[in-house]
Structure 1
Amino acid sequence: MSTDNAHAGLADFLAAGTDADEVPELDRLLRARPLLGAFSTLFHGSEAEVLMRVMVLGEIGRNADMPRWSPDSLRARFAFIDPVKLETVLRRLRDHTLLRFEDGQYLLSDIGRNAGAALTMLLELSGEEDAELGFLTAQLAGLQAVDRDTGDALQQLLGKLNDLTLHFEDAIASGSEFRILSARRRLAANARWLDRGTALLRDLLADEDIPFERATLAQRIGLAQSRLARVDASFQRALNKIESQRVTLGGSGISSSDVAGWLRGLDAAALAGLCADALTPCPDLTLLAGGHELLDRAEPAAANEPVPEAAAAVLPAPDDAPIAPAPQMEDLRLLELFGQRMARLTAPSALADIVPGGSFAQASYRMSLLALLRDADADGMREAGEGPIADFLRMPVDVRFSEQLQPVEDDNVAAITVGEVVPRPADPI
């Protein structure tokens, strides 16, 4: 596309009286028109046409031992494509300078090879979660390796890190266990890119000739990475708070989180079936006034007569409330027995050895007690009250959980979280 044609097309988008040469943001793009035209050629048309062009261009550039292809070798390589369609693809790539045809052979042009290499990097990272951060980190590493301007790459990286920070903060603020766990997995998926980005920034700041603006930008990226490194602790505190508020349904051992997770796994039709007999529409409000009552009110008002006041409604005299029977004492025998068992520990014991036993509800109760004990340690506080629960929370043991599960040979428990209970050493006298 010529410069005049490009400027004529841009005039339709720019404000009246504004010339394309007066817009600094367009200057670099106008100078890179051949490269942008290459991508326009690749991605113009239907999805099938785009896939064919990208595939043919990539396969031609992938064979390093044979950079030049004869028409017969291309037809043999792409025998699974209709010959007429293949010729159409090759002609379009050739007409738009992505391919060159010299001495009866096809070869990639410089622009075509660069476009193919850029797409290869994107496709290589496309199968990973949060591929954007990996691509931006790789882009920064490449620019730094060839000693090119890294300003735009640093800006893009900082924008991505700030976006991740806001996403994680929103997940914590939502109070949703599922959103927090999803955000935590996303943080773990980006951990290696954060580590590599830190190494790149360290090398960048080690350069004594780095411009002040670049150094400031790199420091802001370092601060953003530090905030992300501390997010995992915030995730754990939020999950601990949710754990303390979790409700167990009766003696079944099933928690409200289990029910919520089960409901989230149902499709819309199943959810509608559950709600069929559980929800009813709100009835219409009925006006509780008859015609004669409205007439009694309207006649005095029409005759300018005082409207009689409504009779005062006096509440009946108070009566003594019935005396309720004393509430039943909570059965804490299972807590006391478990506490005695914990007190006898002399060496670290796996959760799989001390939690199962009896019914699933009893094992779930023991697991919740250990989670409560772990949370008391995490907050740096010990129960100061009296009674069996306070005594249990003051036990000199450390509870450690992990995110893995292990099978258990028990009739009522199939698997349990990998963890251990470690007795604390006795304080020296």
Structure 2
Amino acid sequence: MTEVRLEELLAPGVVADDVPELAPLLKARPLLSAFSTLFHGSEAEVLMRLLVLREIGRETDSPRWGPEQLRQRFAFLDPVKLETVLRRLRGNGLLEIGDDSLYALSDLGRNAVAAIGMLVSFSTEDDLELGFLTAQLAGLQAVGSVTPEALGHLLGKLNDLAWHFEDAIASGSEFRIADARRRLSANTRWIERGTEVMAGLLADPEVPFDLARVAQRIGLAQSRLARVDAAFQRALNKIEAQRVTLGGSGISSSDVAGWLRRLDGPALAELATGALSMAPELTLLAGGHELLDRAELALSDEARRIEADTALPPAEDAPSNRAPEQEDLRLLQHFSQRLARLAEPGSTPAPLASLVAGSGFPAASYRLSLLALLADGGDEGGATPADGPIGEFMRLPLDVLFEAGTVKVGEDEIAAMSTGLVGAKGSLPAAEVVPILDATDSFSDPA
């Protein structure tokens, strides 16, 4: 098979030096040639080369191997095939042989083995890409050689995860959401480790602008992933509200769907035998009462006429013989009569507690508010109602004094109230204390 040259892959008139993206790859030709040596050929040949190279590099105390030691170590391999593998690895710079005829890994071979070993170790993870990229970035940060390209790989992986999780939520599938949530949980430690790496990178005041820009975008992507778990929970709660339980069996529609997903193709085909038809069969879903209602409408002329009649009913005059509602002022009138006795000549001022208490907290609160209104002298400007029970109350020749202290009552649903006096006009000093009435824990309507 003829080897294809790089010039043959480029567009006419374009040379490799005109493509800046090729420059780092051309510079790394020895490394790429080493990986080409490892991964060229069939899968069995690739596995054999990697096996030999990894086992030679695994020996740390005595990293040099003699030919006889290699044959004993790889006794499970065909000797001719083993010699072919050793010759290929040595010829492409992955192995080197010293003057003492002992084999050892070259620097290029050891780097290749280390990179492949890291990838193999992450292959057991649920999401090996994020773990590998984060570990690689942490190593680069430790030696101070972080590149925008390495940050870009991590950013691309985080955005890909976010897209995958959002797509699972948009699907509305309980199973896809559960799988995505497990994948997020498996990657949580790598997201947290990446956050630490980004924090350390941005804490450096000398970090280049291109690195800081990508690092900030990575931080935003990590924050976006941190909020996904709450979105998963909301989606699952919504699905839970729509879940249907099959009778009193305790089996839900999700249980049935999960059981069907575990069946293979032949089992599903057998289960569907006789249950599905090529053409849908129309089934009349109607009970006897529904059929009777429709039959009455179809057979009765009066029923059809009533349903077809859309005219408005005739107009009617609004009733005008109802008496207007009047406010119940009996409690005010009775209180006014009690207070009128205090305005008589020679009467003694009475304490607030004796006048306000009675018939429970609501009635006492009403009386106290009336006394506060009487103490203010009516509305602004001294105006009072001309007639009626309220006017009569406001014209009572009384003064109300509210003092700063309180007195305990302990009965009639009243715990304590302001101390004060009510007496004839001019017999009490003025005061500007706000009335207080404390209720006990229980309340009842006035009798």
TM-score computed with the length of structure 2 as normaliser: 0.62
Aligned to 1:163, the other structure's residue is in SS state helix
What is the match of residue 51 of structure 1?
47
Q: Which amino acid aligns with 1:191?
A: T
1:278 paired to 2:275: yes
8 Å CA contact retained: 1:154, 1:218: yes
User: What's the offset of the Cα at 1:149?
Assistant: 3.6
**Structure 1 spans left out of the alignment, 5+ residues:** 284-314, 322-427
Q: In the alignment, which of 50, 70, 73 is matched to residue 69 of structure 2?
A: 73
What is the match of residue 138 of structure 2?
141
1:87 paired to 2:83: yes
User: What's the offset of the Cα at 1:39?
Assistant: 0.4
What is the match of residue 223 of structure 1?
220
Q: 1:119 to 1:281 in 2, by over 3 A?
A: same
8 Å CA contact retained: 1:157, 1:221: yes
User: What's the offset of the Cα at 1:143?
Assistant: 1.2
1:39 paired to 2:12: no
Distance of 1:267 and 1:42 partners within structure 2: 39
Deviations 1:179-216 (A, max 9, x none): 00000000000000001000000110011111112111
User: What's the offset of the Cα at 1:10?
Assistant: 1.2
User: What's the offset of the Cα at 1:282?
Assistant: 2.3
Distance of 2:202 and 2:51 partners within structure 1: 40
What is the match of residue 175 of structure 1?
172
User: What's the offset of the Cα at 1:316?
Assistant: 6.9
1:9 paired to 2:31: no
8 Å CA contact retained: 1:144, 1:150: no
Q: 1:248 to 1:320 in 2, by over 3 A?
A: farther
Aligned pair count reads 288
1:385-396, aligned counterparts within 5 Å?
none
Q: Which amino acid aligns with 1:254?
A: I
1:25 paired to 2:21: yes
Distance of 1:125 and 1:131 partners within structure 2: 5
8 Å CA contact retained: 2:7, 2:16: yes
User: What's the offset of the Cα at 1:150?
Assistant: 2.1
Distance of 1:317 and 1:126 partners within structure 2: 77
1:194 paired to 2:191: yes
Deviations 1:313-341 (A, max 9, x none): xx8766859xxxxxxxxxxxxxxxxxxxx
Q: In the alignment, which of 223, 248, 251 is matched to residue 251 of structure 1?
A: 248
Q: In the alignment, which of 103, 118, 124 is matched to residue 121 of structure 1?
A: 118
Aligned to 2:40, the other structure's residue is in SS state coil
Percent sequence identity is 68
Between 1:187-196 and 1:146-155, the stretch displaced more is 146-155
User: What's the offset of the Cα at 1:65?
Assistant: 0.9
Deviations 1:197-256 (A, max 9, x none): 000001100111111121111011001000100100000000000011111111212111
User: What's the offset of the Cα at 1:102?
Assistant: 1.4
Aligned to 1:279, the other structure's residue is in SS state coil
Q: 1:71 to 1:136 in 2, by over 3 A?
A: same
Q: In the alignment, which of 238, 243, 262 is matched to residue 241 of structure 1?
A: 238
8 Å CA contact retained: 2:95, 2:105: yes
Distance of 1:318 and 1:177 partners within structure 2: 53
Between 1:162-171 and 1:147-156, the stretch displaced more is 147-156
Distance of 1:42 and 1:258 partners within structure 2: 48
Aligned Cα root-mean-square deviation (Å): 2.2
Aligned to 1:12, the other structure's residue is in SS state helix
Q: 1:319 to 1:189 in 2, by over 3 A?
A: farther
Aligned to 1:134, the other structure's residue is in SS state helix
Runs of 4+ residues deviating >4 angstroms: 315-321
Q: 1:318 to 1:9 in 2, by over 3 A?
A: farther
Q: Which amino acid aligns with 1:263?
A: L
**Structure with the greater alpha carbon radius of gyration:** 2
What is the match of residue 341 of structure 1?
none
Q: Which amino acid aligns with 1:206?
A: A
Aligned to 1:190, the other structure's residue is in SS state helix
8 Å CA contact retained: 1:133, 1:190: yes
Q: Which amino acid aligns with 2:78?
A: D
Distance of 1:247 and 1:111 partners within structure 2: 61
Q: Which amino acid aligns with 2:257?
A: A
Q: Which amino acid aligns with 1:50?
A: V
Distance of 2:190 and 2:253 partners within structure 1: 36
User: What's the offset of the Cα at 1:146?
Assistant: 1.4
8 Å CA contact retained: 2:137, 2:146: no
8 Å CA contact retained: 1:39, 1:115: yes
Distance of 2:48 and 2:165 partners within structure 1: 39
Distance of 1:318 and 1:77 partners within structure 2: 102
Aligned to 2:227, the other structure's residue is in SS state helix
User: What's the offset of the Cα at 1:142?
Assistant: 1.3
User: What's the offset of the Cα at 1:67?
Assistant: 1.3
Distance of 1:34 and 1:318 partners within structure 2: 97
Distance of 1:130 and 1:218 partners within structure 2: 21
User: What's the offset of the Cα at 1:124?
Assistant: 0.8
**Structure 2 spans left out of the alignment, 5+ residues:** 281-297, 305-440, 443-447
Aligned to 1:244, the other structure's residue is in SS state helix
Q: Which amino acid aligns with 1:143?
A: L
Aligned to 2:23, the other structure's residue is in SS state helix
Distance of 1:179 and 1:319 partners within structure 2: 57
Deviations 1:32-66 (A, max 9, x none): 11100000000111111111100100111111111
